[in-house]
Structure 1
Amino acid sequence: MEVSLLSLSAADEPLRQHGRLHTDDVGVAQDVVAEVFEPHTLEPLAAKRLDARLNAVQIGEVTLGYLTYGTETRISLPPSGQWYHVNVTLAGSSRIARTDGERGETEGMRGAAVLLPHRTQTIEWAHDAAQFGIKIPRTALETHLSDLTRTQVTGPVDFGLIIDLTSRAGRGLLRCLDFVRREWDEDGVLAQHGGTRRHVEAMIMTNLLMAASGPHQNLLRQEHTTSRPAALKRALDYIHEHAHELPTLTDLTAAAGVSARTLQLQFLRNLGCTPLQYLRDVRLRAARAELLHPRSADVTVTDVATSWGFYNLGRFSSLYRSVYGETPSETLRRAKGG
């Protein structure tokens, strides 16, 4: 990503065809940005008039927006419990404070800030600051981390506050965002076809997880070590490759080459769940992915649920809602409406 591509002129700014806001009114800016991202408090810090601009697109469950205020501002973001945000500074600078005691600064093309769903954060923007804001549902990012590491992620991840965009992984995140920006700015194939957006969404989340610091890096590294028993790895591979076939415990023990008791113990010790609980969670995530990205306008919740082995629709709906905070029909309705 080159700085020249990120000119702040109205003609060249990223995602310019997807404008959501251009105003000097503080109240309007706060309301529209809150609608796209999350409720917050916006406070100008200088006498210079606000010049707020927001362009945004929806990529599956991920929101990507270009935002600038044109003057010094302070944003107070309370905990929501629902969203991770990443502010990728493209120009200017910002200062960030979190209630876990972390403080940091970002500079254009050198740093990004990770805002957590379970913390209060305060962000001060310089007058010339411009950022890509990425909003990702907590369930989506934690599910993606679970899939990458083949482990259970059951709580919010305490990512480090600042991402170093000059690092190898940081540069990868910038390249990923520039690719996405180009697709939407140039009306590329991926922008035109909704079915491909889940892959773009996954690419953004993968690059983010690789670039951000935090305890999740231990899980990512663990996938490249031999610390897990070989039988457990064989069982996990089998589950992810054959989940749609609804394998039984007998199938899993055959693939792993150990007894059912040994496999149960290895799952409990390493993942905190039984093999069939793990399989159920994989099937549930797959069902959600299909509901978020229906293959046709005629797809129903029943079609998706039964294809992944959830034949009791009431129980499926209850389980789904307990994990994702909405019913399967609400997810599908939103996906079709989008």
Structure 2
Amino acid sequence: MPLPFSPAEPLVQHGRLRTDDVDLAQTVVSEVYEPHLLEPRSATRLDARLNAVQNGSITFGYLTYGAGATITLPPSEYWYHVNITLAGGSRISRGDAVSGETSAMSGAAMLLPHHAQTIEWDSDTAQFALRVPRADLEGHLAELTRTRITAPLDFDLVVDLNSAAGRGLLRCIEFVRAEWDDGGILTHHENSRRHLESMTLTNLLMAATGPHRMLLDEPSDSAIPETLQRALDYIHDHARTLPTLSDLTNASGTSARTLQNQFLRNLDRTPIQYIRDVRLKSAHEDLLHPATAEVTVTDIATAWGFYNLGRFSSLYRDMYGETPSETLRRNRF
């Protein structure tokens, strides 16, 4: 049986919403997760409650409406949502004609960024809801499998929480919940919060089913040439100093033409594009985990070699679905 959550309301110290007003509930939940339409299905008065925290890039929240409701979620470019049903049940239909249902502690719904979704909640439904940036989840899969991910992942709609991997996901989420509810030390330190993020992303990818499993389950094959690996190591060690192609050829011990071909063949990126991606991801990490309360977007952007702030903001928004200032504001001390 899955590990049960604490009988106390999760994240109760981090309350964001307590209301019987439908419009207010829709507005606040939209701000925390994603714009959507909320429609009660009966005359029963709403008793909406949302408790939520931001652990780096992942939003963790407990949500219940206290009444039967239908939620219509339009397609989005930037976010995956994972709804773990703690009580009651839900029925989900997706824009590609796939449908499914979840029940208490047995199923979680995987909501995809590239499809519209409609979710019907029972009156007693309560869920632990995660919002995960598309760039982070797909990037994590790429790191685990050494494969470049270029399109949204077509997860199966329902995650079986009774499977071994599903139980692992529940244990992971309960651990994160307990750390935040208890004011655990892991929530107060930058590297620890990053570990919590990575652990959550790994458990989510392992528990979900779909075509991505072929990448995770196939035997590891270190197909990256040694010369390319030396160039990659150099980039990650010297990203702040803006490595040049000449630096990479010296570090890898091969010609510029050979190195260019190896990047394109193995990573579908030129060396310059790969360096920019590493710098952008590093800036994203610093915005998620600001070193001080006084640090600014300009400080972080220039530290990673982005001196044209307009261009930096545009690249960042294309990858992460929000502006750098929005990320920093959400994660300040």
For this structure pair, what is the TM-score category when the shorter chain's length is used for normalisation? 0.7 to 0.9
The change in CA–CA distance for 1:315 and 1:13 in structure 2 (over 3 A counts) is: closer
Equivalent residues in 2 for 1:124-163, closer than 5 Å: 124-163=120-159
Q: CA RMSD, aligned part only?
A: 2.9
Q: Does 1:240 align with 2:241?
A: no
Mapped partners of 1:305, 1:148: distance in 2: 27
SS at match of 2:9: coil
Give the Cα–Cα distance (whole angstroms) in 1 for the partners of residues 126 and 249 of structure 2: 54
Contact (CA 8 Å) 1:75, 1:123: kept in 2 or not?
Answer: yes
What displacement does 1:122 show? 1.0
Contact 2:133 2:320 in 1 (8 A): no
d(CA) in 1 for partners of 2:3 and 2:146?
35
Is 1:22 the counterpart of 2:3? The answer is no
Deviates more, 1:25-34 or 1:320-329: 320-329
Aligned mate of 1:292, from 277, 288, 292: 288
Q: Is the 8 A contact 2:3 2:170 kept in 1?
A: no
1:1-338 matched pairs, under 5 angstroms: 2-3=3-4, 5-7=5-7, 12-46=8-42, 48-193=44-189, 196-221=192-217, 224-244=220-240, 246-253=242-249, 255-313=251-309, 315-336=311-332
Query: Taking structure 1 as reference, are residues 310 and 221 closer, same or farther at Cα in structure 2, changes over 3 Å only?
Result: farther
- Larger CA deviation: 277-286 vs 221-230: 221-230
CA–CA distance in structure 2, aligned partners of residues 58 and 258 of structure 1: 44
Structure 1 residue 107 displacement after superposition: 2.1
Offset of residue 43 of structure 1: 2.7
What is the CA–CA distance in structure 1 between the aligned matches of 2:29 and 2:58, rounded to whole Å? 15
CA drift at 1:121? 0.6
Change in Cα spacing, 1:239 to 1:53, as seen in structure 2 (3 Å) is same
Instruction: Give the superposition deviation at 1:321.
Output: 4.2
The two structures have a TM-score, normalised by structure 2, of 0.85
Q: Distance in 2 between matches of 1:246 and 1:35?
A: 36
How many residues were matched structurally?
332
Which shows bigger deviation, 79-88 or 321-330?
321-330
Write the distance in 2 (CA, Å) between the matches of 1:37 and 1:317.
Answer: 21
Provide the C-alpha distance between the structure 1 equivalents of 2:169 and 2:271, rounded to a whole number of angstroms. Answer: 34
Letter aligned with residue 120 of structure 2: E
Alpha-carbon contact 2:56-2:288 (below 8 Å) kept: yes
Larger relative contact order (CA 8 Å, sep ≥ 6): 2
Deviation at 1:246, TM superposition (A): 4.0
CA contact (8 A) 1:97 1:103 kept: yes
Cα distance in structure 2, aligned partners of 1:285 and 1:223: 28
Mean CA deviation greater in 247-256 or 33-42:
247-256
CA separation in 1, counterparts of 2:267 and 2:224? Answer: 10
After TM superposition, give the deviation of residue 66 of structure 1 in Å. Answer: 1.0
Amino acid at match of 1:185: D
Task: Give the 3-state SS of the residue equivalent to 2:97 in structure 1.
Answer: coil
Q: Compute the TM-score of the two structures, normalised by the length of structure 1.
A: 0.84
Report how far residue 132 of structure 1 moved: 0.4
The CA deviation at 1:59 is 1.5
1:153-199: CA deviation from partner (whole Å, max 9, x where unpaired): 34322222111222232222111110111111112113344664333
Measured at CA, do residues 330 and 274 of structure 1 come closer, stay the same or move farther in structure 2, by a change above 3 Å?
same
Aligned residue type for 1:73: A
Letter in 2 for 1:277: Q
User: Percent of aligned positions with the same letter in both sequences?
Assistant: 64
